Amino acid sequence: MKIISYNVNGIRAAMNKGFLDWLQSVDPDVVCLQEIKAMKDQLELSLFEAAGYKHHYWFSAEKKGYSGVAILSKKKPDHVAFGTGIDYMDFEGRNIRADFNGVSVMSLYLPSGTNLARLDHKLQYMADFQDYVNDLKKDYPNLIILGDYNICHQAIDIHDPVRNKNVSGFLPVEREWIGNFMDSGFIDSFRHFNKDPHQYTWWSYRANARNNNKGWRLDYGMVSQPLEERLKRSVILSKAKHSDHCPILVELDPK
């Protein structure tokens, strides 16, 4: 089972940059998208189907051109859950989950904390999301939560940890939360295989940051511990350039 997660920073813009051709070349079974910035009726859905993803599920924000998540798959999922049932999360279209043969795959777009009000919102979201996941795991122990967490966990995950120590995305409270999230029963699948520095998934559009690899690792494939023995690989696909993020890939062995 090969799963891609990608914050596309606007699915229509990414498609104009060759996203679908790239997707066919990588050929994942399941695709988790974040920040689609579109309503379903604004998309030419036949293009996704022609690319091999006949099953596609969209959970847009109520605000047009903002946020939104999606899951595309080759095989029909056993079940799809739109949102969390927590209204302030669901208004912004930040969670969608699909179940495939005993494995539950979630696409997550966690808020950024760009100002004080949004930081408070983010911290509330993180606390409520942890409670939600704690309950979810009781019924779905084989859970993979992929997406843009908008947090760098360790100094190794950000190009300049000293100067960014007071910037949202690398605040002590955020780093503590994502560490506790892992401790609650999740494996950071990329770090499970790769301990090397300078491995990022997001770069600012400013100051030629991507070419200079001055980035942040904000995107994670969090895999619940019962799936550890099935983890085959987890990689960052940094050559894909349809967004200010790049995609990540997680692959599981079959049962």
Read off the pLDDT of each residue in 192-214 and give the average, rounded to a whole number: 97
Nearest to residue 86, comparing CAs of 121, 53, 112, 51? Answer: 121
- The length of the chain in residues reads 255
So what's the pLDDT on residue 255?
Answer: 80
Nearest to residue 100, comparing CAs of 29, 24, 50? Answer: 29
Q: What percent of the chain has pLDDT over 70?
A: 100
Instruction: Classify domain 2-252 at the CATH topology level.
Output: Deoxyribonuclease I; Chain A (3.60.10)
Q: How confident is the model at residue 116 (pLDDT cuts 50, 70, 90)?
A: confident
Q: Is 253 a catalytic residue?
A: no
Q: Which residues pair with residue 2 across a beta bridge?
A: 251
Read off the pLDDT of each residue in 40-62 and give the average, rounded to a whole number: 97
Q: Which residue among 148, 157, 188, 219 is the active-site one?
A: 148
Question: How far apart are the C-alpha atoms of 187 and 191, rounded to whole Å?
Answer: 8
The domain limits of the chain are 2-252
Assess whether pLDDT exceeds 90 at residue 114.
no
So what's the pLDDT on residue 101?
Answer: 96
**Is the model's pTM score more than 0.95?**
yes
* 1 touches 100 (CB < 8 A): yes
So what's the pLDDT on residue 203?
Answer: 98
Assess whether pLDDT exceeds 90 at residue 200.
yes
So what's the pLDDT on residue 184?
Answer: 98
Per-residue pLDDT tens over the stretch 162-198: 999 999 999 999 999 999 999 999 999 999 999 999 9
Nearest to residue 106, comparing CAs of 142, 152, 53? Answer: 142
So what's the pLDDT on residue 117?
Answer: 87
So what's the pLDDT on residue 115?
Answer: 86
Read off the pLDDT of each residue in 151-167 and give the average, rounded to a whole number: 97
